[in-house]
Structure 1
Amino acid sequence: MNQQNAVEVNAVSKNFGSYQALRSVSFNIRENEFFTMLGPSGCGKTTLLRMMAGFETPDTGSIRLHGRDIVDIPPHKRRVNTVFQSYALFPHMTLSQNVAFGLENLGWDKAKIRSRVGEMLERVHMDAFANRKPAQLSGGQRQRIALARALAPDPEVLLLDEPLSALDLKLRQAMRNELRSLQRDTGITFVFVTHDQEEALDMSDRIAVLGSGEIQQLGAPSEIYEDPANRFVADFIGETNFLDVEVLKTASKTATVRTPFGQVITVPSTAAIGLGKATLSIRPEKLNLGDQAEGIDFEAKVLSKQYLGGYTHYLLSAGGAEIRASRRNASREGDVIPVGGIVNVGFVETSARVLAA
């Protein structure tokens, strides 16, 4: 059964003077999906979010909400709400009044507003603070109230513009869990904008990676991480090693290459790989060291290391290249590979990817 689309972005472009922020971008966001737009500053993700909210207008293309073109519909008439990074709470109002504000503007009756405000404060675990002002709250509590206010009118789509970036690390991790639970509980489509790869991988059903005003790749978190479409995606999502290789033969989804370490191996590849120079991408955690080494095997010199309890991160030198690797400290002794020593390094061919140079 085909899942209905909540949002359809069709060939949207946007210029700000001579700067092209978006270049004919098209994608769909499914009903009840936690969808993330991920990318570096200036990639176009916030511009897209503002277009969905109605704060910006595309130069070309269309945006549809449940099949209805909304480009010419003003923001207050769209069933779309936004949670901003700054929270945008009214400092002179109580929390209850903040949550009620949008409902009053929509003309809800007082009894219905009281009931809905109580329900939303309880949902975000803030009902005990209903009469406090925003200044009396922590950053995480203010974020919960901003969420309650945005969810109160029961929007069709909730837009979240980097809402966790102002929080400290521990609180950010806790709020990630709360956001995901809220999305599942309400069934509302969440569209989340962030430049934090870990946030995107943790919370999303699907991720659109944006770069230079275009969609570089769209897919599930595991697909984006394990099978990046190009070097930009591989470099932006997590850590990876890029090694220069020579492509000797190609097939539909694989390439046979010669590595800097001398081996000839066959590994998965992106679609547009030709003979000659290319790039091999392999994540640090895919490299196995010492007694854990398996698969393709070569020797490397240990330049430095960082012991982090369950894992140790190494900087290695092999074949004229510097390589980062992570080793799980499985035994009680843990980190036993010395700096300056030679260590065996192994990886399974299917864990690497060949990308266009």
Structure 2
Amino acid sequence: MSRQSAIEIAGVSKQFGDFTALDHVDFKIQQNEFFTLLGPSGCGKTTLLRMIAGFETPTQGDILLNGKTISDSPAHRRKINTVFQNYALFPHMTLAQNVAFGLENLGWAKGDIKTRVDEMLEMVHMAQFARRKPDQLSGGQKQRIALARALAPKPEVLLLDEPLSALDLKLRQSMRDELRRLQRETGITFVFVTHDQEEALDMSDRIAVMGHGRVQQIGAPDEIYEAPENRFVADFIGETNFLDGEVTALDGDTATIHTALGIDVTTTQSGVTAPGPAVLSIRPEKIGLETQAEDETREGTVVSRNYMGGFTHYTVEAGGVSLRVSRRNAQARADRIEVGDTVTLGFQPANARILGQ
């Protein structure tokens, strides 16, 4: 039996004057799911989050919470809380008072408030700082208190509007684990907004990739990355190489494309309905250097090399085509590749995907 939807976005559009921010968006977010809205600036993800929260109303369509429409409900009547990018803590209150604030407004009994505040501060590992003020905290600590305050009233859905963007790299990485832990422990549906593909891939149960006011694809992180449904998704998620070509044969979910590299590749396809121009998408880490003979191979010349710790990234020119190749760095490699070297490029056809133009 499938889980009931926590949030349903049903044919939602949003106009700001002549500008269409969202264009007939339809999808469901399951209960107890860590769901991410991912996309570039201006794609409509924050507008959609604000409509779920009740800060904006749809021009068309409906939003449902646990099967009941909330499109016309004011924000304070929705069992939905939001953690904002700037945390929005009250500077004159202690951390315990910040966490208690929402519970007091809801009319909780004093004893229940104290119990819940202690519980939440313990959950975010901030119990020892209960009497401090927000200006005495680091960015990561402020975020923990903002999370505790938002989770304290036991909302049915928690919205997170790019909450990691103000943190440094190391702290962002540790807070990803913290958010995932909190979501699992509370069982609350999290809806996370970000433009950072790595964050989305790392934390999400499912991702909705948004672009041009529409949902381009929804799926688990590995589905989104390994099997993009169109060029927008392939280009936005991670890094990829696009090879122009001509589809010469179609057979169900596979097709054969004659690529600009001068080789024919038969592999999975998306959006190709007839022979003609198309694009082959292949991730840099899926291309091997000095690969085995049974793969599709082509000689090329290394024109740039960038060492990045765990990986080295190369640009290789082959047959008039420039390709990005990523190679994992093993300890004490004896086969170091330098700019100017001639290499053999290759990839397994199953690791490439044909996209319609």
Q: Same fold (TM over 0.5)?
A: yes
Question: What are the residue-to-residue correspondences of 1:117-132 with 2, within 5 Å?
Answer: 117-132=117-132
Partner residue of 2:44? Answer: 44
- Structural RMSD (CA): 1.2
- What is the CA-CA distance between 1:292 and the residue it aligns to? 6.7
- What is the CA-CA distance between 1:73 and the residue it aligns to? 1.0
- What is the CA-CA distance between 1:256 and the residue it aligns to? 0.5
Q: Distance in 1 between matches of 2:204 and 2:334?
A: 34
Partner residue of 2:141? Answer: 141
- What is the CA-CA distance between 1:335 and the residue it aligns to? 5.6
Maintained 8 Å contact 1:288/1:294:
no
Aligned residue for 1:269, secondary structure, equals strand
Maintained 8 Å contact 1:45/1:210:
yes
Give 5+ residue unaligned stretches, structure 2. Answer: none
Q: How many pairs are equivalent?
A: 357
Residue type matched to 1:207 in 2?
I
| Mapped pair 1:225 → 2:225 | yes
Q: Distance in 1 between matches of 2:46 and 2:338?
A: 46
- What is the CA-CA distance between 1:289 and the residue it aligns to? 0.5
Maintained 8 Å contact 1:245/1:260:
yes
- What is the CA-CA distance between 1:310 and the residue it aligns to? 3.4
Q: Distance in 2 between matches of 1:326 and 1:351?
A: 14
Q: Distance in 2 between matches of 1:336 and 1:250?
A: 40
Question: What are the residue-to-residue correspondences of 1:165-184 with 2, within 5 Å?
Answer: 165-184=165-184
Residue type matched to 1:80 in 2?
I
- What is the CA-CA distance between 1:338 and the residue it aligns to? 2.1
Partner residue of 1:24? Answer: 24
Aligned residue for 2:355, secondary structure, equals strand
Partner residue of 1:91? Answer: 91
Maintained 8 Å contact 1:6/1:30:
yes
TM-score by length of 1: 0.98
Partner residue of 1:160? Answer: 160
Partner residue of 1:110? Answer: 110
Maintained 8 Å contact 2:291/2:347:
no
- What is the CA-CA distance between 1:325 and the residue it aligns to? 0.1
Partner residue of 2:352? Answer: 352
Partner residue of 1:65? Answer: 65
Q: Distance in 1 between matches of 2:6 and 2:335?
A: 50
| Mapped pair 1:275 → 2:275 | yes
Q: Distance in 2 between matches of 1:60 and 1:310?
A: 48
Residue type matched to 1:313 in 2?
H
- What is the CA-CA distance between 1:327 and the residue it aligns to? 1.4
Q: Distance in 2 between matches of 1:217 and 1:35?
A: 13
Q: Distance in 2 between matches of 1:335 and 1:57?
A: 59
173 and 334 in structure 1: CA distance in 2 versus 1, 3 angstrom threshold: farther
The more displaced of 322-331 and 110-119 is 322-331
Give 5+ residue unaligned stretches, structure 1. Answer: none
Residue type matched to 2:315 in 1?
L
TM-score by length of 2: 0.98
Aligned residue for 1:336, secondary structure, equals coil
| Mapped pair 1:315 → 2:310 | no
Note the alpha carbon deviations across 1:193-246, whole angstroms, 9 max, x for none: 000000000000000000000000000000000000100000000000011111
- What is the CA-CA distance between 1:311 and the residue it aligns to? 2.2
Aligned residue for 1:181, secondary structure, equals helix
